[in-house]
Amino acid sequence: MLDSSQDRKVYEGILLQLHEIIQEQNLRPGDKLPSERELSEQLGAGRSSVREALRALELLGLIETRRGEGTFLKHYRHNRLIDILGFFILRDTKTKKDLIEMRRMLELDAVRLACRRATDKHFDEMERILAIAEERVARGEVPAEEDYQFHRVICRSSRNSILHRIWTPLVEYSNSIRIESLSRQGRASAAVVEHRQIMEAIREGDVNVALERMKQHLENSKL
């Protein structure tokens, strides 16, 4: 187990690096990961620290080390890796604050672009998501998935693929924050109303109103 602050940083770095490798190279279970030496160079960390971190990842069931062959990706649920990454990232107060700040910047840029670029197809999808969210709230459930999907459609409607690719892992890492927010008394129903107001402002192409509503929504959500 890694005890020191420095070793913990190495561990977190390897987790993040693993996720980036999987996403960028579209790796599948059984594919080989970078060598211990390569990870050491990429992270600027000692090989002994990297080796210890890889052992921990193996215990988590994300990778397996084959003697004489290297380290390979194992079968795992995507959400499980995201949850593990989020756990380590959100333990650090400064990192958590930075993540939320970056998400706000991206969300507002997405809204600004969506006011010009969103199509009827995007609005139909938003309507469908909101209808499901309203049904779940009426049943006393927390529509966390619908909340994620609504913001995702806005991001996609910006039609900026880079913005969307950056936004996705940021929001997935902060999944626990979203669930905690929506679980507050009355917050889920209020969020759905706010989502509808944001959608209508985007549909009307009113950038200033849409931005103000998104800012207020994120503030109310404590995101």
55-113 pLDDT, tens digit each: 777 766 778 888 888 888 876 555 555 555 555 555 667 777 887 888 899 999 999 99
- On average, the pLDDT of the chain sits at 82
Contact 217, 198 (CB under 8 A): yes
Contact 31, 100 (CB under 8 A): no
Q: What residue ranges define each of the domains in the chain, with the CATH number in brackets?
A: 5-84 (1.10.10.10), 93-221 (1.20.120.530)
Whether 19 shows a pLDDT value over 70: the answer reads no
E strands, the chain, are: 63-66, 70-73
Instruction: Classify residue 32 by its DSSP letter.
Output: B
* Band (4; pLDDT cuts 50, 70, 90): very low
158-183 pLDDT, tens digit each: 999 989 888 887 787 667 677 788 88
What is the rounded CA–CA span in Å between residue 161 and residue 89?
24
Among candidates 140, 128, 136, which has minimal Cα distance to 186?
A: 140
Contact 100, 185 (CB under 8 A): no
183-220 pLDDT, tens digit each: 888 999 999 999 999 999 999 999 999 999 999 999 99
Which residue type sits at 53?
A: A
Residue 10 has a CB neighbour count (10 Å cut-off) of 23
